[in-house]
Structure 1
Amino acid sequence: MAKTTTMFIEHIINGFHFFLSLLLFVLIITGFQLIDLNTIQSFIMNGGLISHFIFLLPTIYTLGLLIDNVVDDKIFDRQEKKLRNKYITDQSQSGRKLIMLTKDDNQRRQLDYIRTKIRITRTASFNFGVLTSLSVLFTIIHLRGFLDGQVLLVVVLEVIVGGLLTYLAYWSWKSNTKTYCKRVVDGFKLLELKHHQQEPAQIAAEDETDNYNFFNA
């Protein structure tokens, strides 16, 4: 149940970011002259924003699911494989296999938590990049007449803030992926160590059983 809830929240977060990108894209095409600011203010004050957000949750969730799959399979797949091959030299090792072999709930929760951070930051880095690009376009196309010569300053600020958010999300994804791979490798090393420690005790137990059977034959 907890894992399902976590996945739902992941897709809502990623879907909301992508929904903002779609909304900004529509505004770039149509402009915002058709939007009545007084109507929007009244809409927000009367609680319409919250009710419509709840109404849009299924759409936002679906968008999050779709964009996460696209980013994972089409954009970050090669980089993620490169990182995994760098830190996990034994290709037979994986987080899922480690969880199945150890049957350790604490290990599973830790790996699941890292995977959650990987998915959120991976898609966020893409969404932040798209949002930054669209924000710059929107400013140049539609806000030039309202900024009184401050367009360049606003664009520079958008690029700096958006670029920083994109970089931080990408850096977090890379760092979390490295941590995940190292946890998997360390987990298998610990599992192998426990296996070697159990072997002498198992052999001694078998010898004791054989001696018992010999003297009682």
Structure 2
Amino acid sequence: MADLITDDKPVSIDDGRSHRWENLRRGVYRFRSNTMSMLGLSILVFIFAVAILAPYIAPYPKDATTGVNPVARFTEPGAEHPFGTDRIGRDIFSRVLIGTGLALKVGTTIIVLATSIGVTIGAVAAYFGGWVDELLMRFTDIFLTVPGLVLAIAVTAALGRGIDNAMIGIALVWWPGFARLTRSQVISIKEEPYVEAIRGLGAGNLRILFRHIL
């Protein structure tokens, strides 16, 4: 009976890293090859440019905060006021330009907060499993059972008025989705051979999770 030949070649940490870099390179290539993706990126770059340059290109930057000109109220769109003016004479075009920066700040902050909370909870739940997974996922389910708008309003009311508190309230509505997505990905990745190789070298759980898996 012929002997079975098996491949006992050890799996190195570099194999996992090179695999991730190869996937990243392919993803970037596919993104650059997609016309709609590049169009979306161009629009995003344009919006960020407007937000950064708004104080310098807005014809009436003070109208975004303190400008009041009752004489020019409800002016029709024209060369001097492309979007017209509002009920107290403020230039609407300038307010739109200045408001772009605030809109980006709010959106970016909410995404960063929601992603940070969701990814951390989802990754820890998936990696450790058992009662940790059960506890964190039931905690996530509590947030999912409450209507998002109601939860955001309740949190904002509890913390007080203000744009910062509103951002926190909205972030607490969004994080459960990121948690579930991260959990499903980490469950599949944590059994990869390169993770076992890292664990065999004595790396700690937090190092494996947050450096090599995420």
Higher relative contact order (CA 8 A, sep 6+): 1
TM-score by length of 2: 0.24
Higher relative helix content: 1
